[in-house]
């Protein structure tokens, strides 16, 4: 395909149009505003903000983060400021800065997921909802909805009824069969899928003999999980028709290409933001140069692995 279009990195994820396919992953980029000293956040294709619930949440006891070989464990427990503070105090600034905001949402029941989705219908400047049915760190909601098709579809259908916004559903690698969940969610009305969230893990301090996280277990992210994520993106690509947003341990543009070849139409970058706050914008530039050099657009790469 020729690359004479105005913006060669522009992507369509169903009804969601982004200037480029690089998205900052929820939970690793705060509400976007925390990064404005380092980055022009309007340059990032999308910012998936920390999961928002109807009411504020304090999350799990500390410590909630620890480093592991080639990765990181977190047990945040979806701590967030809640709908009102996000909308009234953060959205005005995000709009002013021209950020492309994707709201990751969390509920403990189908009706709570639907309610928060409904409330976002009236908020100016929201590009899409990312329905989080895959957090491993909460006692209800989260991953409990995302590990099998039926509850995943029920949440998706409830949100679909409540929202006019493009709907991304974020999948869990803990599902017995992620393709079954992906198909169920597609049939229930999701516009696109993001995958994978973290894998459940544990790390123990051998001196104290205590877990290094306050609640014992947490979600593993970072390069350690990348081959699992790439495999799952490829499996889901072959199982559904809706577009995929791949994530899991991306630290370079090379990794982005790997996800595209497996089947992604866009990617999210998470853990790597902690060590390089400019990684998202750096990769946007690299992707742009790559497309110009090879006279392609990103969608030319999707699913093009040679098996
Ligand atoms: C958390 O807040 O515990 C992490 C969020 C997630 O894994 O979805």
CATH number of the CATH domain containing 80: 3.20.20.70
Whether 230 is covered by a domain: the verdict is: yes
Catalytic residues: 135
Residue whose Cα lies nearest atom 2 of ligand 1: it is 78
Q: For the full predicted model, state whether its pTM sits above 0.85.
A: yes
Residue with tokens 């390089």: 276
Model confidence pLDDT, tens digit, residues 71-107 = 999 999 999 999 999 999 999 999 999 999 999 999 9
Q: How far is the CA of 44 from the centre of ligand 1 (A)?
A: 22
- Of the residues 60, 61, 71, 76, which should be mutated to test ligand 1's pocket, given the most ligand atoms within 8 Å of the CB? 76
The bridge status of strand 16-18 relative to strand 22-24 is unpaired
Task: Mark out the alpha helices in 130-200 (DSSP H runs).
Answer: 143-146, 149-162, 178-187
| Mutational pocket test of ligand 1: of 107, 137, 171, the residue with most ligand atoms within 8 Å of the beta carbon | 137
Q: Whose CA is nearest to atom 8 of ligand 1?
A: 135
Q: What's the total number of domains in the chain?
A: 1
| Residue 67 resides in a domain | no
Q: Which pLDDT belongs to residue 109?
A: 96
With a cut of 50, list the residues of the chain below it in pLDDT.
Answer: 1-5
Specify if 28 maps to a domain.
yes
Residue 122 lies in a domain: yes
Q: What is the pLDDT of residue 6?
A: 60
Query: Which helix (H) or strand (E) element contains residue 262?
Result: helix 253-262
Residue 35 DSSP code: G
pLDDT of residue 274: 97
Does a structural domain hold residue 161?
Answer: yes
pLDDT tens profile 105-146: 999 999 999 999 999 999 999 999 999 999 999 999 889 999
> Is 90 inside any structural domain?
yes
Q: 170 - beta bridge partners? A: 132, 194
Query: What percent of the chain has a predicted confidence (pLDDT) above 70?
Result: 98
Q: Which domain holds residue 140?
A: 3-59+75-198+219-300
In a domain, 207, yes or no: no
Nearest Cα to Cα of residue 163 among 130, 200, 185: 130
Taking the centre of ligand 1 as the mean of its atom positions, its distance from the CA of residue 135, in whole angstroms, is 5
Residue keyed to tokens 């999308």: 46
Output the CA 136–ligand 1 centroid distance in Å: 7
For residue 132 and ligand 1, the question of a CB distance below 6 A is answered with yes
CA distance 263 to 255: 13
Distance CA 293, CA 8 (A): 12
Nearest atom in ligand 1 to the alpha carbon of residue 132 is 8
CA of residue 198 to ligand 1 center, whole Å: 8
In a domain, 7, yes or no: yes
What residues form DSSP beta bridges with 221? Answer: 72
Instruction: Measure the CA angle with vertex 97, ends 94 and 102; round to 5°.
Output: 40
3-state SS, residue 2: coil
């Amino acid at each position: 395909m020729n690359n004479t279009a105005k913006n060669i990195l522009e992507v369509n994820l169903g009804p969601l149009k982004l200037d480029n396919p690089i998205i900052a992953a929820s939970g690793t980029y705060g509400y976007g505003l925390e990064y404005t000293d380092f980055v022009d956040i309007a340059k990032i294709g999308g910012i998936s903000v920390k999961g928002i619930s109807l009411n504020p949440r304090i999350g799990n006891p500390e410590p909630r983060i620890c480093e592991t070989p080639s990765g990181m464990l977190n047990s945040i427990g979806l701590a967030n400021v809640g709908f009102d503070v996000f909308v009234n105090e953060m959205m005005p600034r995000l709009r002013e800065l021209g950020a492309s905001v994707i709201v990751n949402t969390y509920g403990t029941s189908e009706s709570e997921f639907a309610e928060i989705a409904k409330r976002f219908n009236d908020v100016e400047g929201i590009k899409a909802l990312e329905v989080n049915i895959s957090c491993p760190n909460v006692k209800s909601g989260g991953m409990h909805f995302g590990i099998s098709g039926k509850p995943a579809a029920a949440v998706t259908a409830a949100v679909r009824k409540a929202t006019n916004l493009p709907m991304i559903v974020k999948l869990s690698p803990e599902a017995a069969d992620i393709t079954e969940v992906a198909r169920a969610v597609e049939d229930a009305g999701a516009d696109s899928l993001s995958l994978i969230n973290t894998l459940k893990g544990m790390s123990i301090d051998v001196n104290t003999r205590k877990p290094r996280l306050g609640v014992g277990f947490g979600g593993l992210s970072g390069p350690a999980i990348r081959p699992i994520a790439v495999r799952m993106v490829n499996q889901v690509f072959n199982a559904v028709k809706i577009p995929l947003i791949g994530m899991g341990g991306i630290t370079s543009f090379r990794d982005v290409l790997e996800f595209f070849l497996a089947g992604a139409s866009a990617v999210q970058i998470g853990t790597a933001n902690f060590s390089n706050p400019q990684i998202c914008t750096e990769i946007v530039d690299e992707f742009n140069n790559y497309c110009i050099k090879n006279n392609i657009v990103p969608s030319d790469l999707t699913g093009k692995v040679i098996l």
